[in-house]
Amino acid sequence: MALLEVSDLHVEFEVHGGWVQAVRGASFNVNEGETLAIVGESGCGKTVSVQSIMGLIQTPPGRITRGTAKLRGQNILGGQTADGREIRGVDIAMIFQDPMSSLNPTMTIGAQIAEPLIVHRGYSYRDAMRRAQELLEMTLIPDAASRAKEYPFEFSGGMLQRAMIAMAIACEPSVLIADEPTTALDVTIQSQILDLLVDLQGKNNMAIVLITHDLGVVAKIANDVAVMYAGEIVEHGSADDIFYRSAHPYTVGLKSAMPTNRPGSEQRLAPIAGVPPDLFDAPPGCGYAPRCPYAMDVCESTPPLDFGVGHEHQSRCWLHHEDCPQPAAEIHRA
């Protein structure tokens, strides 16, 4: 059994005049000590999905209409277990894209890292501050002792992200959700932060759910990948599956739209024409159909099912239906 299992998640938001179906049946798993990357572009629902696991969706205007999220078999949708124990921040922690707005500008970094220890683990103030300094050292912030007494505005972007990671791992969570943690950082710092996450994962046997739009980041640290489009997980499998045995036209399209660097080869970027659908008026069939070069009648009319295409590799695409005349292998381009 996977550590975290999200199944058939549906989330919608009320807007002026109706509801926007932000997540339409997303399912994904993370195993202990492994990294799952959820890849997608803006508006695909990846952030909303993890926010609903953490209970961060404001109701109103948001609403989880269906689905479960199980941590070690217990449903935790809404941030608490059935017996009310707080899991948010303790068992599952989250770090965000912009650390500056996620940290309290009027508290020292040390105090903020110590806070979850005091609140959830009952540490004394002194013990908590000491542990906070240890955590800062673990995240490779130089001169941790004096840094702990400083305020967020005195930190650079990369260091703030480290501080946020320190805060997140304070209670030794079993799952760390990282929502685009390096998108706002320079590439050299991004590399450092990703290396740090992998190291911490090894030390604490922590599972990581990484939200990103950068396939390079995915390739670097993900074990499993879930590709998200228009509120659905369109493909889910290991990193190798996704990159080398892509089974969904969107995944292929995404790869072709990113420059790869192979010496000697002349790459021709192939952008995906069109724009993602407006989820206010949710499309009746497959969300990708209007942009898909392989679209068929059934794609427009009926939402596709999840088809198994390999060992623990699934694709939500009609191309994999047994009656489909187009060979699915056609979509995989070398």
Partner 1 sequence: MSQPLIDIRNLTKHFQRGHQKIRAVDDVSLSIGIGEIVGLVGESGSGKSTLGRTLLGLDRKTSGEIFFKGSALPTVYRTGDFRRYARSMQMIFQDPYSSLNPRMTAGEIIGEALRLHSDFNKADIATRVEEWLVKVGLSIDHWGRYPHEFSGGQRQRIGIARALILEPEFVVCDEPISALDVSVQAQVVDLLAELKRSLSLTLLFIAHDLSMVRYVSDRMAVMYLGSLVEVGRSDRVFFDPKHPYTRLLIGSNPEPDPEQERSRERVSSIGEIPSQVDIPAGCRFANRCPHAMDVCHQVNPALQVVNAEADERLIACHLYP
Partner 2 sequence: MEATYSFDRIEPLARQVTRTRPSLSYWQDAWRRFKANPRSLVSLYIVMALGLFTVLGPWVWTIDPTAQDLDQISTPPGADRRARVVEPYTRWVPPNITLEALSPSRLAVIGEPTTQAVRLAWHPVVGASGYRVYRGIAEPNSPDALGLPLTDIVNAALTGFEDRLDLKPRTYHYTVVALSTEGRELEGFATLDVPVTRVITTSEAIERGLSERNGSALIGDVVYLDFHPLGTDYLGRDMLARLMHGARVSLFIGIVAPFLYVMVGILYGSIAGFAGGRWDQLLMRFADFVVALPFLLFMILFKMVFNTGPGESGVFAMLLAMILLSWPATARLVRGQILQIREEAYVGASRLLGAGSMYLIVRHMIPNTMGVILVTLTFAVPGALFTEAFLSFIGMGVAPPNPSWGSMCNEGIKTMLTAPHELVFPAVFISLTVLVFNLLGDGLRDALDARMRSAE
Kindly list the residues in this chain that would bind partner 1 in the complex (CB under 8 A).
Answer: 41-42, 142, 156-159, 186-192, 194-195, 213-220, 222, 239-240, 243-244, 253-261, 263, 267, 269-273, 275
Report whether 285 contacts 274 (CB < 8 A).
no
Does 329 contact partner 2 by CB under 8 A? no
Q: For residues 284-313, which are near partner 2 according to CB under 8 A?
A: 289-300, 302
Burial classification of residue 24, based on how many CB atoms lie within 10 Å of its CB (0-12 exposed, 13-18 middle, 19 or more buried): buried
**Residue 295 binds which entry of partner 1, partner 2, none, CB below 5-8 Å type-dependent:** partner 2
Q: In what order do the strands lie in the sheet with 232-238?
A: 92-95, 175-179, 207-212, 35-39, 224-229, 232-238, 313-315, 307-310
Q: Which is nearer to partner 2, 61 or 216 (CB)?
A: 61
Nearer to partner 1, 65 or 260 (CB): 260
Binding mask 85-124 toward partner 2 (x if CB under 8 A, else -) reads ----------------------------------------
Minimum CB separation of residue 190 from partner 1 in Å reads 7
Pick between residue 102 and residue 256 the one whose CB is nearest to partner 1. Answer: 256
Maximal CA-CA distance, the chain: 68
Select the span of 109-117, 158-166, 228-236, 321-329 touching partner 2 (CB under 8 A).
321-329
Q: Does position 318 bind partner 2 by CB under 8 A?
A: yes
- Identify what 257 binds: partner 2, partner 1, none; CB under 5 to 8 Å per kind: partner 1
- Going from the C-alpha of 97 to that of each of 125, 242, 290, the distances in angstroms are 29, 24, 31
Residue (of 199, 295, 305) closest to 249 by Cα position: 295
DSSP reduced 3-state for 71: strand
Rounded Cα distance, 239 and 222, in Å:
6
Q: In DSSP terms, which residues pair with 146 in a beta bridge?
A: none
Nearer to partner 1, 97 or 174 (CB): 97
Which of residues 42 and 58 has its CB atom nearest to partner 1 in the complex?
Answer: 42
**Calpha distance 120→188 (Å, rounded):** 35
- Binding status of residue 269 toward partner 2 by CB under 8 A: no
Among partner 1, partner 2, none, what does residue 192 contact (CB within 5–8 Å per kind)?
partner 1
As measured in angstroms, the least distance from the Cβ of 274 to partner 1 is 9
Beta-bridge partners for 229:
232
Please identify, among the stretches 24-32, 36-44, 149-157, 320-328, the one whose residues bind partner 2 according to the rule CB under 8 A.
320-328
Q: Does 324 bind partner 2 (CB under 8 A)?
A: yes
- Token reading at 49: 């999905």
| Phi/psi at 30 (5° precision) | -130, 135
Round to whole Å and give the CA distance between 238 and 104: 37
The residue ranges that bind partner 2 (CB under 8 A) are 273-274, 277-278, 281, 289-300, 302, 318, 321, 323-326
